[in-house]
Amino acid sequence: MTRAISLHDVSKSYARGVRVVDRLSLDIVPGEFLVLLGPSGCGKSTVLRMIAGLEEIDEGELLLDGEYANDWQPSDRNIAMVFQNFALYPSMTSRDNIGFPLRIEAPGTDPRPRVDATARMLGIEDLLDRFPGQLSGGERQRVAMGRAIARHPSAFLMDEPLSNLDAKLRNHLRAEISQLTRELGVTTVYVTHDQAEAMSLGDRVAVLRGGVLQQVGSPREVYALPRNVFVAAFIGTPRINLLRGLVRAPLDGAMTISLGRQALRLPEPLSLDHRLLRVQQGREVIVGLRSEAVRIAKPAAARPGEVPISGLVEHVEFQGHEVLVHFNTGSSPAVVPELEAPRLSGRPARRRRREGPTVLDRLRERAGALRAGPVVVLEDPPDDGPAPVPPEGRLPGDLVVRTTPDIRLRHGMQVPLLVDIAHLFVFDQHGERICPSPARLPDLEE
């Protein structure tokens, strides 16, 4: 029997009132494979532990098959959890590790038939008499998965089970997990910070940021129609190009989005999405372009909907089947703090202790609940302030373009580019997507 899991306005806070999960609502249908995706510290594992009963829910409710389950003991939920660090008993063989929960649940029953059946399913029959110290990382993770599968649970909870493995083994076990969960038909909630895992495994992907659910949908949907800048930047390899732009919409001329030294001229007649951009006249926006939305070609080769710009080659990454070219187009990149801004160093200054939260504290908490902090950074540094520190590990250029390995480019070349406007994303100053237009029309008075 598989299980439906529902979270309604669930919140969790730790010491000093730090809210790690903020009013999260999520419905997981029976048999679904749902991936919780987000950067470290966004609350993914806390959500998983609340479902398992290992963490108390401060606010909201958890429903298992429609029944209120906040107060259920972990043993009453019939849910199996696979941890990141394998969590095997070192003094037990693989057979004993897999059979241990079965002996606890039914002390008078022989667990060997179910252990053997599980081992055959996972292909680990020859490992049953070995101890964890005699196994490789991948073998230990298979044994940990076997311990969860042997229980015949109604749901699987997997907390980054592949993060401690090397890349080749991770890809292999990823395919095995996908096949196993579909064969068993058991509801699965899988936590990861690896978007490649999320996109390849999940029926749906739920993206979290700062404890707030940003978007939930199929992998194709969150890639093609990200709700905000954070989702757009977190999903996709290489990362989407995010550039600061300025909308110019004169009544007697073509609408353009200025990118600094160059501009994207929107083709006429304007589409409905582009007509709605007139609301942003004179405002700064964030332009999003995936690497496949730009190609290397001369203006004469432009297809309908493509507009020309040019770029100076800064860096070339040879990937074998493709090449990633980093161009300098004279644009200013937009920074997504959680993904590429440098961490603050040093200890924070002490604050005077107060008797309870101040008005400012409550406003900050409310703002954090609504947006979990600023998604992008567009403000220029003050004239007398320090120059911004380049994000650690950031490669040169402001535009990354995917191309074929037969195109020969060298550093310093000026190259003509064509931008497919049909694949253009535009986000407002708060990082919310405004083009393609969201479900609701923008408020003209904003």
> Does residue 271 have a pLDDT over 60?
yes
Is the model's pLDDT at 371 over the cut of 70?
Answer: no
Q: Give the per-residue pLDDT at 16.
A: 74
**Beta-carbon contacts of residue 136 (< 8 Å; ≥ 6 apart):** none
Q: Which of 214, 179, 225, 219 is nearest to 199 (CA)?
A: 219
Q: How many residues does the chain have?
A: 446
Q: Which of 235, 263, 421, 415 is nearest to 325 (CA)?
A: 415
Ranking 40-54, 209-223, 269-283, 384-398 by mean pLDDT, the lowest is 384-398
CA-based torsion, 405, 407, 408, 414: positive or negative? negative
Predicted confidence at residue 395, as pLDDT, reads 59
Domains of the chain (ranges; CATH) run 5-226 (3.40.50.300), 227-341+396-446 (2.40.50.140)
Q: What is the mean pLDDT of residues 273-285?
A: 88
Of 79, 98, 78, 80, give the one whose Cα is nearest residue 88: 98
Q: pLDDT per residue over 412-442, tens digit each?
A: 899 999 999 999 999 998 899 999 987 644 4
- What pLDDT, on a 0 to 100 scale, did the predictor assign at position 165? 77
| φ, ψ at 373 (rounded to 5°) | 90, 170
pLDDT given for residue 373 in this prediction: 55
Beta strand 155-159 with 79-82 is parallel
Poorest-confidence range of 28-42, 262-276, 292-306, 336-350?
336-350
Which of the two residues, 10 and 375, has the higher pLDDT score? 10
Contact 89, 135 (CB under 8 A): no
Task: Give the pLDDT score at 15.
Answer: 76
How much is the pLDDT for 363? 45
163/379: higher pLDDT: 163
pLDDT in tens, 116-144: 998 988 888 999 999 999 998 888 888 98
pLDDT in tens, 375-414: 666 655 444 444 444 444 455 789 999 999 988 898 889 9
Where is pLDDT greater, at 446 or 318? 318
3-state class of 149 per DSSP? Answer: helix
Radius of gyration of the chain (CA): 25
Write the pLDDT tens digit of every residue in 181-236.
888 889 999 999 999 899 999 999 999 998 999 999 999 999 999 999 999 999 99
For CA atoms 84, 85, 86, 89, the dihedral sign is negative
